Structure 1
Amino acid sequence: MSLARSLPLGALALAACTTPRPSPIAVPDLGKRAVAERGMVAAGSAYAAEAGVEMLRQGGNAVDAAVAATFAIGVVEPSMSGIGAGGGMMIWNQQAHRADYVDFYGTAGASPDTALRSRGTGRIAAARGVAIPGAVAGLLAAHEKYGKLPRATVLGPAIRLAADGFIANSILIRELQSDSTKVLGPAPVARIFFPGGHMVRVGDRVVQSELAATLRRIADQGRDGFYTGPVAAEIVSTLNAGGNPATLDDFARYAPRWKRPLCTTYRGRVVLSAPAPQGGMQVLETLNLLEPVRLTTLGAPHRDVAAFRALAGAMRAAVTDRDAYVGDPDKAAVPQAGLTSKAYAAERAAVAADTTPRARLAAGDPWAEDRAAAPESGCAEYQPVGPARVAAVRDSGLGTRNSSPPSPESRVPSSESSETTHLSIVDADGNAVSVTNTNGLAFGTGTWAAGAFFNSAMLNFARSETSANAIGPWRVPSSTIAPTVVLEHGRVREVVGSPGSAAIPPAVVETIVYTLDYGLDPLAALRVPRVIPSSNAQLRVEMGFAEPVLDAARRMGFETIMSPMDMGFGGVHVIERVGGRWVGAADPRRDGEVRGY
């Protein structure tokens, strides 16, 4: 065991560097860290963590726990996720030694509202922004394929939380305050969150009877209880009244997509992350760019200029490439094999290391590497759909290869926000799940039906008709979510993911770097100040970075935007295998907690 892991939490220090400056806000550790022998759930709410561990104690596996916890957190964090949301789930099946990924992000229907292309730069907080929600179908599909417990059992905690109520926390109150115009619209919503005309307070019990009825119908009937029948009719009627062209047939036809995870190796470990159009490309390219850098010979990036340049440069190059090429690979040519290859990282290394000031970074050209991509050593079983698939899509006329920097109209829009939730789960058999679910914007579009808010995923499409992320029938829009699992010697070493829109891939990368490279305890790793680069000159930085590092950032041409440590920089939930035990941590930037057994 390393020295860093043997020290008390308060004394933990990064290898070869000084201890991180304390957070500007005081956050108690209660519930933020746990150690367990058998299984563990790290989630954005204690209610969700308890729901997941309840399944493990009943003999369920990691998928049972993940489904129960994700439905539960949708009840207690209605602004961030729920049955009207969408996301993705990474599953590691230890017995089969296989990884699987189910993409259940919101999807455009058969005749999507193409007028959204002309929305300009403003947000549309209305029903037109709602995509066909995938959370219910995706969670149930994962449970049907891998779960052990009955469906009614895994939905039981969520039903109880909705019917009997839960105690409101500070984050829910903050969300209600900041987005009250959305919440005060529908009368049923006002009755729940503004009873008697007054907003609920911390400590008040929140009961959602209509949501409980919908969840019971799902428990009884499965996906048909949501995507057909009276629930679907109510949702579609509400969407149509707001100008959304979704139909009952769209709902009935919706199906989540099973995919191979993206894969790379990082310092001898296998890293599996979310395939396009989600954020795994950015995570894996960043790690590939960082791998040649001997980080442990440097200080921590928030203290050491050389380490900062390496981290910020790698993340900036990766986000630029992702923005240029991300799209639905079933509908457009997306060079995800090339972007996540070691060969492309070697080609892109000079750009990542360049300290010349520049207002905007240009995307690279990964197409040659995409055609030649072969599985990295250790990744053969998990390699994504490769060049043959890309060529087939391109030849069909659905997509074109475009190596030039994208126009502003084709760049990935920033219509996601911090209103997302992530859960990391492991069980006694070594199975693992990393799952992220999101409403997009806070409370989605503010559209309410069947006891829940509905997503804003349609706003994630690019305005350009030629973009790989263009709006179109049955297309899945881009997203930054990046559920990730790290394997070592064929077993789970780390399960990690985060909410936070553009903060998600950087937060995932930084957690991997601080735990696996610098050897920090998971909770100590989450306390390190984060940086979020972009392809343009803006650099979001949490307080706690040393002044020489900030000076170096400015010399590199960055416009540094300083912020306190808060949920805008993510909300990582991580579980790591350390010395034969699971060690889990919930990000101190949010209300999440960890439970183990």
Structure 2
Amino acid sequence: MRDFQFPGRSPVRATEAVAATSHPLATLAAIDMLRSGGNAMDAAVCAAAVQGVVEPQSTGIGGDCFVLYSPGGQGNVLAFNGSGRAPARATVGWYLEKGFDRIPLQGPHAVTVPGAVDAWSRLLEDHGRKGVAEALAPAIHYAENGYVVHDRVAFDWAEPETDLSADEHAARIFLPGGRAPKAGDVHRQPELAATLRIIAKHGRSGFYEGAVADDMVSRLNELGGLHTAEDFAATRGDYVAPVSTSYGGHEIHQMPPNNQGLTALLMLNLLSGFELGGLDPNGAERLHLEIEAGRLAYRDRDRYVGDQDHVPVPLKQLLSGAYADRLRAEIDRDRAMTHLPRVELPGSDTVYISIVDRDRNAVSFINSTYYSFGSGVVGPKTGIVLQNRGSSFRLDPAHPNAIAPGKRPMHTIMPGMATKNGRVVMPFGVMGGGYQPFGHVHLLTNMIDFGMDPQQALDAPRVFYNDDTVEAERGVPTDATEGLRRRGHRIAEPHHPLGGGQVVLIDWEKGTLTGASDPRKDGLALGY
């Protein structure tokens, strides 16, 4: 139980249903959908659509999504890969011939075909009770009539002002009056509202064919992009088999490559060989072990992860106990490793949604346009912000994540699901670009090893190893940062809070649900 004399909030506890998102309007829309007869999947798509309006820097219909879903909370966990692909004309050779040494972070070449709308449509058709029109109705309302800009959204919105000003259509929509909106301002997106109405009427074809697709393709081509109408029309997501490992009596499920979810499982396998529960949860030794496990896991992520439709990924070997034992031997409890390659792990803006309904359908849902306002390219007539997931590709033809026609890039956004004895314990997720595997592991070990409730586990201070530096939030105790320095780590304060997450915990015996939402964002959990 938390100390009520300190700032903070309690987890949300309910019996019927709980929804947790990073924005109050999205959580409310999800609850309204549930109370009107929709299920967890209807509520998740509805919330994601709202966030695509009210958190435009983080997500939208110009991005991708991944979903883990358990009907009734029992049996197999279903996984859906809603990430888009490179244009059919995109080859390593083309970019090298044009003088590129990397895929740019912004502009048309950073854009992969968005997969979110296809995923939403398919998931609603297969698992929802309501249709696309009902799911999009609240988002249309906010885009058309306006919404109040929340504080974390305003904080994020201010940073990319220069990038937004470089695209006349982005500037017109997202820099009204020549500046980013401030907290408390009302913002409207009428072009996006009209686009959402077309999708509500025509479903996925309203996005991937016709006037909406033409607007995106023509703008990309105008800027030099390789995209075609055929690339958009051919977009289809896939049901895939999750990858999993055991930790602390739980099965932890992640998306398979092209997703980086494998990285969190590698970290858990390494940490399972240490008795974390006997350590100080905010102490130097626990944080050091987490950092070192992460450094090894990220090294393997960058070596092996790519689109499995194009390259083999040795999943069985990487997740084996013998492999974890071999890697774990590289960790010194008293000194930071010095033999690993430098890793640069950029952050990103993402939204994550966790929902469990009265029938215990459990959904773990993540949606993103990657960097703040994605590629910076905006459809002039549609108001769609296009993602920059293509910037993750490599231009080394021998690398598993090399760009290729129709290939998916290595993807950072990763929903999580924990089960025990064949039943879902919790859908969970921690967003934040490269930080996400660290975030998943920190959350899980906070709960499993240290007995924290979901809100305590999200509130707890975080560290992240990035670019040869340990970023330590201000909440990390001074004696812990000093202990990390003595172990050879360079310490710095991050420019932004590390990540943001949501959790819904199921107690099958009591028949209750416990939800939590990260204080690093504007959101909250609600239940009834």
DSSP 3-state at the match of 2:77:
strand
Contact 2:74 2:422 in 1 (8 A): no
Evaluate the alpha carbon distance shift between residue 256 and residue 593 of structure 1 in structure 2; reply closer, same or farther with a 3 A threshold: same
DSSP 3-state at the match of 2:270:
helix
Structure 2 matches for 1:91-240, cutoff 5 A?
91-94=69-72, 97-112=75-90, 114=92, 115-116=94-95, 119-120=100-101, 123-197=104-178, 199-240=180-221
Contact 1:309 1:353 in 2 (8 A): no
CA distance in 1, matches of 2:214, 2:121: 20
Deviation of 1:466 after TM superposition, in Å, equals 0.4
Residue 499 (structure 2) pairs with residue 585 (structure 1): no
Deviation of 1:338 after TM superposition, in Å, equals 2.1
Q: Which residue of 1 aligns with 2:4?
A: 10
Structure 2 matches for 1:40-51, cutoff 5 A?
40-51=18-29
- Which runs of 5 or more residues in structure 1 are unaligned? 1-6, 12-21, 363-407
Q: Which residue of 1 aligns with 2:297?
A: 318
DSSP 3-state at the match of 1:496:
strand
Task: Give structure 1 regions of 4+ aligned residues with deviation exceeding 6 angstroms.
Answer: none
Q: Which deviations, in whole Å up to 9, do the C-alpha atoms of 1:28-62 show, x marking residues without a partner? A: 64xx8421111111111111111111121122221
Q: Which residue of 2 aligns with 1:334?
A: 313
CA distance in 1, matches of 2:332, 2:26: 42
Deviation of 1:245 after TM superposition, in Å, equals 0.5
Contact 1:274 1:481 in 2 (8 A): no
CA distance in 1, matches of 2:334, 2:309: 37
Contact 1:128 1:242 in 2 (8 A): no
Higher alpha-carbon deviation: 278-287 or 552-561:
552-561
Contact 1:192 1:206 in 2 (8 A): no
Higher alpha-carbon deviation: 246-255 or 194-203:
194-203
- Which runs of 5 or more residues in structure 2 are unaligned? none
Identity of aligned residues (%): 33
Deviation of 1:332 after TM superposition, in Å, equals 0.4
Q: Which residue of 1 aligns with 2:392?
A: 460
Higher alpha-carbon deviation: 279-288 or 312-321:
312-321
Deviation of 1:485 after TM superposition, in Å, equals 0.6
Paired AA for residue 46 in structure 2: A
CA distance in 2, matches of 1:201, 1:123: 29
Structure 2 matches for 1:499-578, cutoff 5 A?
499-534=431-466, 537-563=468-494, 566-567=496-497, 569-578=498-507
Q: Which residue of 2 aligns with 1:474?
A: 406
Q: Which deviations, in whole Å up to 9, do the C-alpha atoms of 1:300-321 show, x marking residues without a partner? A: 1x22x43233322222221221
Contact 1:313 1:352 in 2 (8 A): yes
Contact 2:46 2:135 in 1 (8 A): yes
Paired AA for residue 331 in structure 1: H
CA distance in 1, matches of 2:73, 2:201: 30
CA distance in 2, matches of 1:186, 1:299: 49
Deviation of 1:224 after TM superposition, in Å, equals 0.3
Deviation of 1:325 after TM superposition, in Å, equals 1.0
CA distance in 1, matches of 2:11, 2:437: 22
CA distance in 2, matches of 1:558, 1:463: 32
Residue 331 (structure 2) pairs with residue 352 (structure 1): yes
Evaluate the alpha carbon distance shift between residue 465 and residue 355 of structure 1 in structure 2; reply closer, same or farther with a 3 A threshold: farther
DSSP 3-state at the match of 1:572:
strand
Evaluate the alpha carbon distance shift between residue 120 and residue 92 of structure 1 in structure 2; reply closer, same or farther with a 3 A threshold: same
Q: Which residue of 2 aligns with 1:489?
A: 421
Q: TM-score, length-normalised on structure 1?
A: 0.82
Deviation of 1:122 after TM superposition, in Å, equals 8.7
Q: How many residues align?
A: 521
Deviation of 1:505 after TM superposition, in Å, equals 0.8
CA distance in 1, matches of 2:364, 2:84: 18
DSSP 3-state at the match of 2:330:
helix
Evaluate the alpha carbon distance shift between residue 235 and residue 113 of structure 1 in structure 2; reply closer, same or farther with a 3 A threshold: farther
Contact 1:64 1:148 in 2 (8 A): yes
Evaluate the alpha carbon distance shift between residue 471 and residue 123 of structure 1 in structure 2; reply closer, same or farther with a 3 A threshold: closer
Q: Which deviations, in whole Å up to 9, do the C-alpha atoms of 1:180-226 show, x marking residues without a partner? A: 12333455544444434454332222121111111111111111000
Higher alpha-carbon deviation: 196-205 or 460-469:
196-205
Deviation of 1:590 after TM superposition, in Å, equals 1.3
CA distance in 1, matches of 2:280, 2:424: 27
Q: Which deviations, in whole Å up to 9, do the C-alpha atoms of 1:486-537 show, x marking residues without a partner? A: 0122222122112211111111111111112211121111121112125x63
Deviation of 1:574 after TM superposition, in Å, equals 1.3
CA distance in 2, matches of 1:490, 1:174: 42
Higher alpha-carbon deviation: 571-580 or 111-120:
111-120
Deviation of 1:355 after TM superposition, in Å, equals 4.5
Q: TM-score, length-normalised on structure 2?
A: 0.93
Deviation of 1:354 after TM superposition, in Å, equals 5.7
DSSP 3-state at the match of 1:89:
strand
CA distance in 2, matches of 1:571, 1:120: 33
Counterpart among 414, 417, 430 of residue 347 in structure 2: 417
